[in-house]
Amino acid sequence: MSLGSLLKQSIGLYRSNFLLFLGIFAFPALGHLCWIIAQRGLNHLRHPDWPQQAIVIRADWGLSIYSVNLVLTCLGACAYYVLAGLSLAAATGAVFKQSRPEPALIRGDFPGKRPHWFRFQSLQFVSAVRVWGILVAMMGTIVFGADVLDRFAAGMTIWYGIVGLTLVAAVPFGLWMHVRFAMAVPVSFIENLPIGAALDRSVQLTKGRRARIFAVVALVGGLRWILGIAGSLLAHAHIRSGPMAAVGSPLLSFVLDALIGPVYGIAMVLLYRDIRDQSPGSH
């Protein structure tokens, strides 16, 4: 299946079952929303002058606030990643059920799989640790180093250099690992494999197809990032005070996560189904 065909089928399936997939992926988006609100509340308690509507750099705040926020932001993204395990499992059931005559329903899909929901969630957690654990750990070292660097005149410059090096080294590694484990949840759902076997099976199935998977990740992630930046800029330009200044950006993040997440999830399930159809003896 070519990249163009994969995206076309994914968007078409999403449009024809919009409310179904929106409901499925609203769950991790809601969890991410709660995380962002809690993070902003923590910032406000520790630093009352921290602006809630945008990120503004002021040298007199010191490095610690930026370090903590970087780590909390990374952990928030990991929380969304982990919670998406249930959504990917539900999406797998919905996509595979499209070939059946009855309509797809969240509560009606594959009743025998319900006892395994915890396994799907645990699988996504293990995957998150392997994929993004190094990035979070490196960010953690930045937090502990912030107070030390604050004592030097060039501390801010050194800190940004360490952050840049961390992103350059850890993010590509995380993306590579993510592509390898992209089909772990669909594999565990359909083939009823435990966590370790599902991860190994995903690595096997993605061989020779990782460029397409990375392209989907880049396109969907890039679209999410561009829309997020554009929405934040518009909100900052028109909403400078009041409650909406504090909650506008988190709500925008929730809407974008819920709307765009299904495209990636459906694409991974469709690609997995296509690989199974092409592999003899895989059913």
Closest CA to 1 of 217, 222, 280, 216: 216
Under DSSP, the state recorded for 102 is S
* Residue listed under structure tokens 């070519």: 2
Specify the amino acid at residue 45: L
Q: What is the pLDDT of residue 135?
A: 80
CB atoms within 10 A of CB 242: 10
3-state helix, strand, coil split of the chain in percent (to 5) is 80, 0, 20
Structure tokens at 137: 């750990």
- Dump pLDDT digits (tens) for 23-80: 999 999 999 888 888 887 777 776 666 555 444 444 444 445 556 676 778 788 888 8
- Dump pLDDT digits (tens) for 87-108: 999 999 889 887 554 444 444 4
- Dump pLDDT digits (tens) for 237-278: 666 555 555 567 788 889 999 999 999 999 999 999 888 877
User: Judging by beta carbons within 10 Å of its beta carbon (0-12, 13-18, 19+), is residue 186 exposed, middle or buried?
Assistant: buried
The whole-model pTM stands at 0.80
User: Judging by beta carbons within 10 Å of its beta carbon (0-12, 13-18, 19+), is residue 266 exposed, middle or buried?
Assistant: buried
Q: What is the pLDDT of residue 247?
A: 67
